[in-house]
């Protein structure tokens, strides 16, 4: 299973600590490094390979976006700021996403999903990424991009794919820990969905192909933040 490394750049220690704490809750996180200046960041980038850089618009030594403009081949970057006006400038730059502080965990998940799907990400998930699971005594290889959703089935789990459903031995909670969080999310106790397969949604349900999957009451705020332009505040 691939693990991911993140570099956090900003001049506010409390903000960096908050983002660091959120990232520790994101599955498959490997390393998180925090720095305050571009000079410190350059040294780390030369010595490490980061999957995503979180860049504050304000750094200790210069503007974060000014530095980004100077880069001939910028890394996969998510810009963070307390000022929403910077979102307009980011729109015209090769930036994966813009996060307005204070950052919430659901919004962070969505930003990471976008960043890791970026064409320049060296670990971008491709159609061949897979997971091995037992169904009875047989070990099956499932390509993640083929999976529509997971449905709890007692101590086992139904895996739904186009035209096919297979029951695997693992409980849904065990599967949740093995899946990339930016592609698969739990939307109620009994269902995990492939976010890339959602064809329609409203305040109370999502549709994958022709299947309606209700959103659990405790997950509705989370889903609203994942799809803020579609799901309304009445959640």
Helix, strand or coil, per DSSP, at residue 78:
strand
Residue 112 to residues 26, 39, 72, 106, 182: CA-CA distances in angstroms? 9, 25, 23, 10, 6
In the predicted structure, residue 68 carries a pLDDT above the cut 60: yes
- Mean pLDDT across 56-66: 87
Beta-carbon count within 10 A of 97 CB: 22
The helix or strand, by DSSP H or E, that contains position 7, with its residue range, turns out to be: strand 4-9
**What CA–CA distance (Å, rounded) separates 4 from 160?**
27
Q: For 182-199, give the DSSP string.
A: TTEEEEETTEEEEGGGEE
The yes or no reply on domain 130-226 and CATH 3.40.50.300 is: no
**What CA–CA distance (Å, rounded) separates 62 from 5?**
24
In the predicted structure, residue 150 carries a pLDDT above the cut 60: yes
Residue range 188-206, pLDDT digits in tens: 999 999 988 888 888 889 9
Helices (H) then strands (E): counts for the chain:
7, 15
Angle at 227 between CA 234 and CA 180, to 5 degrees: 135
pLDDT band, very low/low/confident/very high, at 118 (cuts 50, 70, 90): low
pTM of this prediction exceeds 0.95? no
Q: Please tell me if the domain spanning 4-116 has the same topology as the one spanning 130-226.
A: no
- Mean pLDDT across 100-119: 83
Please tell me the predicted confidence (pLDDT) of residue 196. 83
Per the structure block, which two tokens stand in for 150?
Answer: 């997971």
Cβ neighbours of residue 197 closer than 8 Å, sequence gap 6 or more:
148, 149, 208, 209
Q: Where are the domains of the chain?
A: 4-116, 130-226
In the predicted structure, residue 225 carries a pLDDT above the cut 80: no
**CA neighbor of 175 nearest in space, from 187, 185, 164:** 185
Per the structure block, which two tokens stand in for 100?
Answer: 């307005």
Evaluate whether 150 touches 161 at the Cβ level (below 8 Å). no
The 3-class secondary structure across 42-68, one letter per residue, is HHHHHHCCCCEEEEECECCCCEHHHHH
Superfamily of domain 4-116: Response regulator (3.40.50.2300)
* Most distant pair of Cα atoms in the chain: their distance: 59
Please tell me the predicted confidence (pLDDT) of residue 71. 82
**What CA–CA distance (Å, rounded) separates 79 from 56?**
6
**CA neighbor of 195 nearest in space, from 203, 185, 209, 205:** 185
- Mean pLDDT across 15-22: 94
């Amino acid at each position: 299973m691939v693990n991911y490394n993140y570099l956090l750049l900003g001049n506010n220690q409390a903000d960096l600590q908050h983002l660091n704490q959120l990232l520790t809750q994101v599955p498959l996180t490997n390393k998180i490094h925090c720095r305050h200046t571009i000079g410190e960041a350059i040294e780390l980038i030369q010595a490490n390979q980061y999957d995503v850089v979180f860049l504050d618009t304000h750094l200790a030594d210069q503007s974060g976006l000014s530095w980004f403009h100077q880069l001939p081949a910028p890394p996969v970057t998510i810009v963070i700021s307390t000022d929403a006006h910077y979102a307009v400038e980011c729109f015209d730059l090769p930036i994966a996403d813009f996060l307005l502080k204070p950052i919430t965990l659901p919004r962070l998940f969505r930003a990471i999903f976008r960043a890791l799907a970026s064409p320049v990400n060296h670990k971008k998930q491709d159609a061949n990424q897979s997971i091995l699971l037992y169904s009875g005594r047989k070990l099956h290889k499932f390509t993640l991009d083929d999976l529509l959703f997971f449905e709890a089935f007692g101590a086992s789990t139904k895996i739904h794919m186009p035209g096919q459903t297979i029951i695997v031995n693992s409980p849904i909670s065990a599967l949740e820990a093995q899946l990339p969080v930016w592609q698969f999310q739990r939307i109620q106790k009994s269902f995990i969905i492939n976010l890339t397969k959602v064809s329609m949604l409203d305040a109370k349900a999502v549709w994958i192909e022709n299947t309606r999957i209700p959103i659990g009451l405790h997950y509705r705020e989370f889903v609203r933040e994942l799809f803020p332009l579609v799901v309304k505040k009445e959640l």
